[in-house]
Structure 1
């Protein structure tokens, strides 16, 4: 797990950079800045390529052939973000220790055990010939840029890391490097593996039944799923089938509450024995997404409205994916344009890309627009395996483990070799955790337990084909045809086109389980817990032009209980999605500007439930009542950054969670405070004498709901006084809810002056967890921002040049470059940039022009 301790071993050497920067100054910082004007030679181009950049450095690429187009994209990505690309490929290949040293070895072992790169290598051969050509062209473009440049000319980070005393030379880029990035995306969007682990960890103090109450089902009576009507009929999803079901009509009952009982233990001995190992797996699993630029609190908002609801008379589509903040931000804006669009060169697309991967991930072309949100399908299962030596038990037989050797090179240290073991379910993740040795042998059998992972992404797929297919799709049919290949990660796909259609498609490989619902680890020796295939694509939920005139996805449940398959149980509880629906229903003529305002909405949907109970508590008058008075005047319930009431309410919420659940749960699984916990507490509020309210540490006192609410409000008043001021009028949410953009490597070195070279911030923000403006924070840790809308886009299908977009940071990954954070202040203020798309608009906005040519003029 990479945390601040990762670079502790480099601290003394890294400190030398202060001297280097002082001596070399501007030269050192500016050396990696790329040339964005003039002419550059790229051997292998078929014809000249033009790269136009606007004031924000956003590139628009024009080429004669698709191969030239993607070769130029690779070149431009390397110009702006090569260190980020190189760092990520070291992570996805399990080779990060080669770059940064021994502190990364634990993470490398975890990734190599899963075998991301091995699967990516297998995928390459399965892809369409055209896709392989595009990947190869992209790699040629990257390599043309890095060429004979020394590492210090590619990134300031390399100059700092070179202080170890060894010269580093980046390896040539390969198509497999790009495909491995898809595994990284799939890992963070894998749904409930972390929940499975946390459920097990919670059994240290609770029974399974008690733990299950902390994972409530989706509240269909109150919140709408994405698809409100339809079912599978004769092997095909029919959106017109069945009664329409939404929050007004669904009669599904909430899951009943269970309460903790002292002394009750988990019934599953294997789970109890594996608690320590589970914690080790959880630590590495949680640290990995942050390295990749995803992190905790992931989610997204995306919606499309029909022309009947828009001010333009044509559809409008909006999207803002929620990921961990990083420096630079994970997205790179770009346009990819064939000069003559046709079968030989079918691309005319613009949007948000991942550096290191060709194509556009989210955006629009001349005919369609699309957005994505996390679908949270359950595509992972953890199996408890019974192991004897080099065998494991399955269906009454002892089968041989499949093994392979993995060797790790370590910068500044000795290499290390491990043996990776696999069952038929997948790799034994528990082998990479040091605590496995402490699990012990079971009496009488001489066997131990391990934990294996079955995950759809460990089977080669064709998701890269889907990316290019969507980029060139021209209508609903071609869009759905491309989405069929979107194996992993499974994402909610929101659609709109210039013909006036809007739609939704659920893609991906979603397993059908023989038994169970995937919420707990299951015995690997029992074949009744296996998978029996995947939900057929034709039977996955989809909808075209729904009667509501909108499609809204914010990670809520995909469809109602009438659907015959289980997609997953870890979806969001619908607080964000229902708020978006309310705002869309509030006006019949919504504009692009209205969409942006909705993206920045800070209304706290949980406040309407909790606030009445808080206002009924008697706090007397004076000091402790001051906070309560703020809440009485907080009629908007908006979590704005300037709001004193919002700051106090957040503090009450944090302390309420602590007072209610910290005594019942191990520290590793204390509540983070997102939408799941909104729903848990909502249900508890109706049971004022529930055992959950009682504090186990006060043996002679039995606390009730109102006791906890009163104490939480007092704690919150004291905390805001310590953190901000004795005077509540001087409080603000943005004073404590702050975002710091940290470089993924040296930004956490622990050396203040070095961190200032790469990091930016802090910035005070509004919004919060479970809010449309989803600036997440972890209530178990503090109020600092842990997840953000990583970009925002609004596509106007009536005039694509009137679309808007914004990135968290900027397109450049080079510190002190003018495009390093030039979009951040606009993003913080909820503003967006014009999104030029047509050639006339792009040329009008152009500031720099770079011509890429196969041969330089003599």
Structure 2
């Protein structure tokens, strides 16, 4: 046996010294990468707060306990109100200070101090409206007890800040240090807390968007065409939330033909406003909420159940923070025993329950904004034939990495001139805007109830301590802005519905069009008295439902809005309540997760009658026998929504883009109704697309089906049965500031994408914009079901988690549950809280 001959290794073409150098570089890179990983890990974990054991906190008068469950949700126990809210501020700062700091910079118009030139437009918009200035005025109006709570809260935040700086506060500060070296957060103040309600009022208002749409389309399309694009609310199909007095006299609004030479000016205002939307998330008619309450006669327990899921733009961390605030002994000095969803940066509970009552909120979106076209010249504006001086003030915007920017804010008696926000908007035109109007310089002023100081923060604490319907309404009477629908239940068995808010009474107009500012004929004559706002207790039906549908029927004697959301969600919830037998908490959750698409039920029969061939016919077969539900794994839902998107592009986008480029054909509930009404008019002009050579409804539907089939085969493969709605309908939960940066930072701070169920105008409302992509742009930001028979049996879920610290255990631990439609236990009694507690932190006076 011969020995094997060793094979010679091929000689490297690199010289030996170069090979050694290369290997050294490789080893060095590995070491650097490992070190970098360790640095990143240390930086991220460095900010994780202490949540077990004991901590000394300056300002406390007695020890406070903070018990956290397996999801890190804190329940706070104190002997007095001062300590309770000081501990709430400390706890919020532990988990969410970066978010709090960003929020106060938003509301003060100071984002450019952190992020530079890119945020000057946003800051200019906020400074022009003067959110911080209004909040400062509001603070002085609040009750002495509320001011004490706000100060205690601020003291708690500042106690945490005193011992935590830079990356020890949050990993985001380490990243920010690379962009804006030397930044150190200022101390928290009570006004920082008050101001956040202005951002929420903005986020929940669609009026600027709506008035802009009306003005732009009216400028270039016939009146009957515009009417078809904005159909009236169909009271014959959808129940209102509250029935009004059938004998009431309904005043008729005078209205005006606001033709559109004003469109350009209003479009400029909408452009300025959009810079703020980029920070706060999507805003408009499509965004809303679900809430309903059922009385004991409809429940298995004989006691009420209340469900709520507000719809907002997704963000990391979630806008909500779950928390319980408990006085160990309830009395005058400490009247709180409440649990629910809070805003980090604000004391109190916004939505939730106490030991006696529960409440939920949906967006009313009333007509509380008017855009006034003003005749401005030489520092004055015209009003009833006279010239009045503009009010002016200077605002200096500090810019990280750049020179400060000074803007001049001008205001008329109606409000700030929003058309001054950007340099290019300083003069919106020199042409006469209406027949008989002389040429001159024009501007657009914003009149908005949220810019009038109010006592809404007092209402937050009043709700927390309310014990019956009367005390609940007393608290609600202080809730000025944002105007909401409030649903109520108590342990005595009552259910109620109350609209609060400051809502104007107009001399003319209905809030859908801009109005002339040069005449007193367009003024507000007052506000709807609280006792006249829609309110009802214990209806014969045994339920109240609101999903941004009409609150009242047409007999209600005051104008709330002419621009209600559609009634698809509310009617579906109502139908499921009626069909549900004796309801329990699990049944309420099933309703929250319902994904039936009412639009599909209307349109699909027409699609099945359409003539298509080949591959499209195989896709069409997906719709046969479909139940119109939209789970994430649904092939029919994927195809239907692709057909819907392509149909909207064929019908509207070309026509409306030419008429008004900024009009957003988003495909939500409004467009469900537009298309539904056109289905019975097969030769309507909207069924014609000259560019594609399509004429008539049937041809249009067939073309949309072909286009959708082609799109999905390219995106999802050639087998229609394997298509999944969730492969198109993806949710990414993004940090709204740094989460838009380089890929490594996105990986650190953002979560997703993941496929989700639902769609716009389904009960499980996960919105998407048909003009853009199928990606999710608004969601149920939380879900809750309160069981008044046993509060400890209530259920809740947050979109993300309690923590704002990336890679902390509770940063996103609720997101998978939320996505699957699951909820977690919501302990309330001390016994239940202790049983669920995984961590026990005692805060002691320093």
TM range (shorter): over 0.9
> Which residue is 2:608 aligned to?
615
The change in CA–CA distance for 1:740 and 1:20 in structure 2 (over 3 A counts) is farther
Matched, 1:689 2:683: yes
* Counterpart check, 1:720 vs 2:735: no
CA contact (8 A) 1:21 1:28 kept: no
Structure 2, unaligned runs of 5 or more: 1-31, 251-256
Give the stretch that moved more between structures: 160-169 or 273-282.
273-282
Q: Quote how far apart the aligned CAs of 1:25 are.
A: 3.2
2:420 and 2:426 in contact (8 A); partners too? no
Mapping of residues 116-135 of structure 1, within 5 Å:
116-135=131-150
Q: Pick from 562, 568, 571 the counterpart of residue 555 of structure 2.
A: 562
1:572 paired to 2:547: no
The CA deviation at 1:437 is 4.9
Cα deviation, 1:548-592, whole Å, max 9, x if unaligned, reads 111101000110000111101222110000000010000220110
The 1:614–1:605 alpha-carbon spacing in structure 2 relative to 1, beyond 3 Å, is same
Which residues in structure 2 correspond to 1:625-640 (within 5 Å)? Answer: 625-634=617-626, 636-640=627-631
Deviation at 1:166, TM superposition (A): 1.7
| Deviation per residue, 1:382-402 (Å, 9 max, x gap) | 111111020111111111000
Residue matched to 2:253: none
SS in 1 for 2:695: coil
Equivalent residue for 1:108? 123
Residue in 1 that maps onto 2:309: 320
Residue of structure 2 in register with 1:186 after alignment: 201
Cα distance in 1 for partners of 2:142, 2:258 equals 46
Name the SS of the counterpart of 1:352 in structure 2. Answer: strand
TM-score by length of 2: 0.92
What per-residue deviation string (whole Å, max 9, x for no partner) do you get for residues 808-843 of structure 1? 000000000000001010100000001000000000
In the TM superposition, what whole-angstrom CA distance separates every residue of 1:670-728 from its partner, at most 9, and x where no partner exists? Answer: 31011111111111111111112222546xx6721112111111111111111111110
Once the two structures are TM-superposed, the CA of residue 170 in structure 1 deviates from its matched residue by 0.4
Cα offset, 1:122, TM superposition: 0.1
- What's the counterpart of residue 330 of structure 1? 319
Query: Alignment RMSD, CA only?
Result: 1.9
Residue 281 of structure 1 deviates from its aligned partner by: 2.7
SS of the equivalent of 2:590 reads: helix
Mapping for residues 169-184 of structure 1, pairs under 5 Å? 169-184=184-199
CA-CA distance at 1:165 after TM superposition: 5.6
Q: CA deviation at 1:442?
A: 3.6
Whole-angstrom CA distance in 2 between matches of 1:320 and 1:188: 16
- SS at 1:763's partner residue? strand
Task: Confirm whether residue 27 of structure 1 aligns to residue 42 of structure 2.
Answer: yes
**Using the alignment, how far apart are the partners of 2:227 and 2:525 within structure 1?**
25
1:488 corresponds to 2:481: yes
Q: Distance in 2 between matches of 1:279 and 1:833?
A: 41
Question: Using the alignment, how far apart are the partners of 2:449 and 2:390 within structure 1?
Answer: 20
**Counterparts of 2:414 and 2:206, CA distance in 1:** 18
The one of 326, 331, 338 aligned to 1:342? 331
The alpha-carbon deviation at position 210 of structure 1 amounts to: 2.6
Alpha-carbon separation, structure 2, partners of 1:532 and 1:20? 68
Distance (Å, rounded) in 1 between the aligned partners of 2:263 and 2:212: 12
Inter-CA distance 521–20: structure 2 relative to 1 (3 Å threshold): farther
Task: Please state if 1:656 is matched with 2:647.
Answer: yes
Shift of 1:233: 7.4
Q: Deviations over 1:43-90 (max 9, x none)?
A: 221111110001110000000111110110000000000000000100
Match 2:110 to one of 80, 95, 101: 95
Distance 1:297 1:572, change over 3 A: closer
Query: What secondary structure sits across from 1:55 in the alignment?
Result: coil
Name which of 447, 457, 460 aligns with 2:440: 447
The question of whether the paired residues in 2 share the 8 Å contact of 1:694 and 1:702 is answered with yes
- Tell whether the 8 Å contact from 2:632 to 2:755 is kept in structure 1 after alignment: yes
Q: Which residue of 2 aligns with 1:155?
A: 170
Q: How far apart in 2 are the matches of 1:657 and 1:95?
A: 39
Measured at CA, do residues 689 and 173 of structure 1 come closer, stay the same or move farther in structure 2, by a change above 3 Å? same
1:146 aligns with 2:137: no
Partner-residue secondary structure (3-state), 1:665: helix
Question: 2:569 touches 2:761 (CA, 8 Å); kept in 1?
Answer: yes
CA distance in 2, matches of 1:233, 1:346: 41
Is 2:245 the counterpart of 1:213? Answer: no
SS at match of 1:668: coil
- Tell me the residue number matched to 2:811: 820
Match of 1:424 among 409, 413, 422: 413
The answer to whether structure 1 residue 61 and structure 2 residue 76 are counterparts is yes
2:376 aligned with 1:387, yes or no?
yes
Q: Identify if the C-alpha distance between structure 1 residues 19 and 151 changes in structure 2 by more than 3 Å, giving closer, same or farther.
A: farther
Secondary structure at the aligned position of 2:339 is classed as strand
Give the Å deviation of 1:279. Answer: 4.8
Supply the distance in 1 between the matched residues of 2:97 and 2:56 (Cα, whole angstroms). Answer: 18
Question: Does the 8 A contact of 1:197 with 1:282 survive in 2?
Answer: no
Aligned residues of 1:276 and 1:435 also touching (Cα < 8 A): no
Find out whether 1:841 has 2:832 as its counterpart: yes
Q: Choose the corresponding residue for 1:476, options 469, 476, 487.
A: 469
Q: How does 1:11-90 map to 2 (within 5 A)?
A: 21-22=36-37, 24-90=39-105
Deviation per residue, 1:454-501 (Å, 9 max, x gap)? 000101000000010001000011000100000001100000010011
The aligned residue for residue 256 of structure 1 is none
- Cα shift readout 1:491-533 (whole Å, capped 9, x = no counterpart): 0000001001111001101111100111011111121111011
Which one is further off, 296-305 or 392-401?
296-305
Instruction: Give 5+ residue unaligned stretches, structure 1.
Output: 1-16, 235-241, 243-265
| Counterpart in the other structure of 1:677 | 671
Shift in alpha-carbon separation, 1:501–1:200, aligned structure 2, 3 A: same
Name the counterpart of 2:801.
Answer: 810
Following the alignment from structure 2 to structure 1, what is the Cα–Cα distance between the partners of residues 261 and 654? Answer: 24
**Post-superposition offset of 1:214:** 1.3
1:520 and 2:513 correspond: yes
Aligned position for 1:780: 771
Query: d(CA) in 2 for partners of 1:281 and 1:577?
Result: 33
**Largest Rg, 1 or 2:** 2
Provide the residue aligned with 2:729 in structure 1.
737
Residue 358 (structure 1) aligns with: 347
SS at match of 2:654: coil
Question: SS where residue 443 of structure 2 aligns?
Answer: strand
Q: Distance in 1 between matches of 2:158 and 2:305?
A: 39
Q: State the SS of the aligned residue for 1:376.
A: coil
What's the CA shift for 1:669? 1.2
